[in-house]
C-alpha cells in the first residue's frame, strides 16, 4: 500500500521537473539562439518481488512473484539543436548561423577566469577599440583570435565568415561544431560548454550578416506539454488520494461492528 504512495509521489516530482523544463523554454521564447529543451521520463530500475513466509506451499521458502517498478525519474534532459528561424535586423554585426556550428566566445566570468564558450546567439556589436564583442562585452573569436576592425569604416561579413573592410580581409570568424552534441553542457548566458570527451568537428554553418537566429521553441508543443504535465500531475494526485482513502478504510473502519 505505502509502496504505491511513494510511486505516485515520484510521479508528482517528475511532473514538476517537466514543468520546470518547459517553463524555461517559454521564458526563453524570445531569446536569440536559444535551443528548446525537453526531458524524458524513465522508470526506476525494476525490482524483483518475492513472497516471504508464504506458508501455503509448505517450507517457508521465498517465492518469486514478478517484478515491481517503484516509480519514475528524469531519464535525461535533452536539447533540440534544430535551426531557429531568422529575423532580419539589417545590422552588420547581427550574425545568423545557418547549418551546424557554433560561434567561439572568449568568456571571462566574474572571478576573472577566461574560457572559450560556444553559442548560436549571433547578436554582436563592436566596442570602442573595434573588437567584435557580445552585448556583454565578451570577445568573438576569429581564426587569429579576437577580431579587431576599424570602427570608423564599414565592415562586411561574408557567408564564409570572412570579415572585410574596404575589400581587405581582416579575419575569418571561427566556427566550431561537435561530433556529438550529448557532450555539450548548458552554461547559461546562451552559452554551451563541452564536457570531457567532446570531439570537435568542422562546422558547415554559413554566416548571414544582418540576421539573427531566433529561438526554436515551438509554442504549440510547449502548451500541449503543459496540458499533459498538469493532467498527469492531477492523475498522480488522484492515485495518492485513492491510496489515502483506502488506508483510511483499513485504519478507521475495519473491524467496526
| Residue ranges that bind another protein, judged by CB under 8 A | 12, 15-17, 19-24, 26-32, 34, 37, 39-40, 42, 73-77, 89-91, 121, 123, 125-130, 135-136, 150-154, 182-190, 195-197, 219, 222-223, 226, 229-230, 233-234, 237, 240-241, 244
CB within 8 Å of 27: residues ≥ 6 apart: none
Q: How far is the CB of 235 from another protein (least distance, A)?
A: 10
Could you tell me the maximum CA-CA distance found in the chain, to the nearest angstrom?
A: 99
The grid coordinates listed for 171 are 579575419
Q: How far is the CB of 84 from another protein (least distance, A)?
A: 13
Instruction: Give CA angle at 46 (45, 50), nearest 5°.
Output: 140
Residue 71 and residue 4: Cα distance in Å, rounded?
9
Nearer to another protein, 29 or 162 (CB): 29
Nearer to another protein, 22 or 97 (CB): 22
Nearer to another protein, 15 or 171 (CB): 15
Nearer to another protein, 143 or 179 (CB): 179
- What backbone phi and psi angles, to 5 degrees, belong to 243? -60, -45
Residue 206 and residue 203: Cα distance in Å, rounded?
9
Give the alpha-carbon dihedral of 128, 130, 131, 133, to 10 degrees: 60
Q: How far is the CB of 137 from another protein (least distance, A)?
A: 9
Residue 186 and residue 190: Cα distance in Å, rounded?
8
Q: How far is the CB of 129 from another protein (least distance, A)?
A: 7
Cβ–Cβ under 8 Å, residues 171 and 144: yes
Nearer to another protein, 54 or 214 (CB): 214
Q: How far is the CB of 207 from another protein (least distance, A)?
A: 19
Q: How far is the CB of 185 from another protein (least distance, A)?
A: 5
Pairing of strands 211-213, 86-88: antiparallel
Residue 89 and residue 87: Cα distance in Å, rounded?
6
Nearer to another protein, 10 or 54 (CB): 10
The partner residues of 68 in beta bridges, in order of sequence, read 47
Q: How far is the CB of 60 from another protein (least distance, A)?
A: 37
Nearer to another protein, 40 or 114 (CB): 40
DSSP conformation class of 162: E
Amino acid at each position: 500500500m505505502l509502496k504505491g504512495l511513494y510511486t505516485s509521489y515520484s510521479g508528482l516530482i517528475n511532473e514538476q521537473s517537466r514543468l520546470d523544463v518547459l517553463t524555461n523554454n517559454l521564458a526563453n521564447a524570445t531569446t536569440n539562439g536559444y535551443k528548446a529543451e525537453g526531458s524524458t521520463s524513465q522508470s526506476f530500475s525494476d525490482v524483483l518481488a518475492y513472497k516471504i513466509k508464504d506458508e501455503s506451499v509448505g517450507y517457508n521458502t521465498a517465492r518469486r512473484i514478478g517484478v515491481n517498478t517503484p516509480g519514475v525519474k528524469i531519464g535525461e534532459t535533452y536539447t533540440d539543436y534544430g535551426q531557429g528561424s531568422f529575423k532580419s535586423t539589417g545590422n552588420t554585426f547581427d550574425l545568423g548561423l545557418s547549418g551546424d556550428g557554433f560561434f567561439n566566445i572568449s568568456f571571462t566570468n566574474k572571478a576573472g577566469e577566461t574560457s572559450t564558450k560556444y553559442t548560436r546567439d549571433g547578436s554582436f556589436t563592436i566596442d570602442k577599440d573595434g573588437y567584435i564583442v557580445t552585448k556583454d562585452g565578451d570577445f568573438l573569436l576569429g581564426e587569429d583570435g579576437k577580431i579587431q576592425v576599424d570602427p570608423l569604416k564599414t565592415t562586411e561579413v561574408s557567408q564564409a565568415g570572412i570579415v572585410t573592410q574596404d575589400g581587405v580581409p581582416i579575419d575569418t570568424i571561427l566556427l566550431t561544431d561537435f561530433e556529438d552534441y550529448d557532450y555539450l553542457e548548458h552554461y547559461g548566458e546562451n552559452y554551451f560548454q563541452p564536457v570531457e570527451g567532446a570531439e570537435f568537428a568542422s562546422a558547415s554553418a554559413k554566416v548571414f550578416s544582418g540576421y539573427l537566429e531566433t529561438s526554436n521553441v515551438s509554442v504549440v508543443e510547449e502548451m500541449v506539454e503543459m496540458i499533459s504535465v498538469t493532467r498527469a500531475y492531477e492523475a498522480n494526485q488522484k492515485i495518492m488520494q485513492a491510496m489515502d482513502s483506502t488506508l483510511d478504510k483499513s485504519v478507521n473502519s475495519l473491524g467496526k461492528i
